[in-house]
Amino acid sequence: MNIKLTLITFLIIGMQLFAQNASDSSKSRKIEYAYYPMGFYTPETQFAFGAGGMVYTRLGLEEYLQPSKVQLSTYYTINYQYSLSVMPTLYFGGTAKVISESKFIYNKEISKFYGIGNETREIENPEYEMGLFRIYTEIGYETSLLKKLHVGFIYEYSLNEMIDKRENAQLINNEVVGSNGGNTSGFGLLLIVDHRDNIFYPTKNGFFKVRMIFMGKDWGSDFTYNRMVIDFRRYHDLGKSNIIAGQVYLESMSGNIPFFKLPALGGSSRMRGYFLGRYRDEAYLTWQIEYRKMFWWRLGAVAFFGMGDVASRFNKFVLAQFKYSYGVGLRYAFDEKENLNVRMDIGFGKNTSGVYFSLEEAF
């Protein structure tokens, strides 16, 4: 029933996007935009409705310059969740060649916590309700050491309010770090090497990003911990609109980590089909491969497969125990010049599934 509803919603929104797109291919530096009503279902939100959009342009005349964008989204769900987010990604030309990515998020979410580890069992009341206000900013400056190499710094702050533990057996005894919420704040280092031919729909070359963030009381955090993220992506053009995309993603944390900041398996980008946070631990490793093809008019399709898991440390991973994720999706290109797509994916895992609706590709 939910899959059918989402398919119908996808087609309706696709037609509206086609009518409302403000793209003008004759003016390559024009400010362009797309906006749309949202009606979707995911395992994390259940049925939701709202609006979203994107403003994008190039902040310079250089031919190599990628389009800058500002994504906006707001929605409300039938189980009383809400979210408001503004996420700018900016590419500046000139001599500095600066990349900046930020996220400003305010929401109330009803999530689930089953405990820590890769073998946590189902529990009677896994839900909890939390309010979040988050600021995240990273700025990278191109260096002369290597072409397309950017290095920079990160600042992150989040206010996490535990609104209701909902009789969650893992949280009501206050034995889990972060069971009463708390602030996180810290600075970090950034390294990016980006050779993608297009940020919205890459068809060749690769992307490599490393982030190291240090949270501590000196920066106003209630928790002291470190986080490292490595994200490697590669794209291959097989010809005739056949694209193969691959990603390896790993995340490692150490210290006094609140449960809601632990690396979480699942969601709309990696290990699709699993509820985001169904499995959490200090280390997370996953890879995925996706076949993409735009086959007729503005329509396309994808098929994907991935594997991943969480563990207490990287030397504790057991390949034979890795979880799997697979699925298919539809694509609608409302800006063919910039290759900007709306996507709807259906993902499956072990005894689980999920439907996802979003702008841009998963990776």
SS3 8: helix
**Do 92 and 74 form a contact (C-beta atoms < 8 A)?**
no
Tokens encoding 212: 């190291």
State residue 163's pLDDT score: 97
Tokens encoding 98: 């600066």
State residue 218's pLDDT score: 93
DSSP character string of 162-199: EEE-TT-TTTTTS-STTTT-EEEEEEEEEEEEE--S-S
Long-range contacts of 61-70 (CB under 8 A, 24+ apart): 61/29, 61/93, 62/93, 65/91, 65/93, 66/91, 66/198, 66/199, 67/91, 67/199, 67/200, 67/338
DSSP character string of 76-88: EETTS-EEEEEEE
Query: Hey, what domains does the chain have and what are their CATH numbers?
Result: 2-82+190-359 (2.40.160.50)
The count of other CB atoms within 10 Å of the CB of residue 81 is 18
Alpha carbon 23 to its chain centroid, in Å, reads 25
State residue 79's pLDDT score: 86
Q: Which of 285, 287, 288, 268 is nearest to 276 (CA)?
A: 268
Please provide the distance, in angstroms rounded to a whole number, between the alpha carbons at the two ends of the chain.
28
> H or E element: which one contains 20?
helix 2-20
Q: What are the C-alpha distances in Å from 105 to residues 73, 84, 352?
A: 10, 6, 28
> H or E element: which one contains 3?
helix 2-20
User: What letters, b where the CB count within 10 A reaches 16 and e where it falls short, cover 103-118?
Assistant: bebebbbbbbbbbbeb
**Do 141 and 151 form a contact (C-beta atoms < 8 A)?**
yes
State residue 336's pLDDT score: 87
Q: What is the pLDDT of residues 196-250, one digit of tens each?
A: 999 999 999 999 999 999 999 999 999 999 999 999 999 999 999 999 999 999 9
State residue 26's pLDDT score: 40
Q: What is the CA radius of gyration of the chain?
A: 20
Tens place of pLDDT per residue across the chain (363 aa): 344 334 434 443 443 443 344 334 444 478 888 777 777 666 777 788 888 888 999 888 777 788 999 999 999 998 889 999 999 999 998 777 899 999 999 999 999 999 999 999 999 899 999 999 999 999 999 998 888 899 999 999 999 999 999 999 999 999 999 999 999 999 999 999 999 999 999 999 999 999 999 999 999 999 999 999 999 999 999 999 999 999 999 999 999 999 999 999 999 999 999 999 999 999 999 999 999 999 999 999 999 999 999 999 999 999 999 999 999 999 999 788 889 898 999 999 998 998 888 888 999
Measure the CA–CA gap between 353 and 3, rounded to whole angstroms: 10
Measure the CA–CA gap between 278 and 285, rounded to whole angstroms: 15
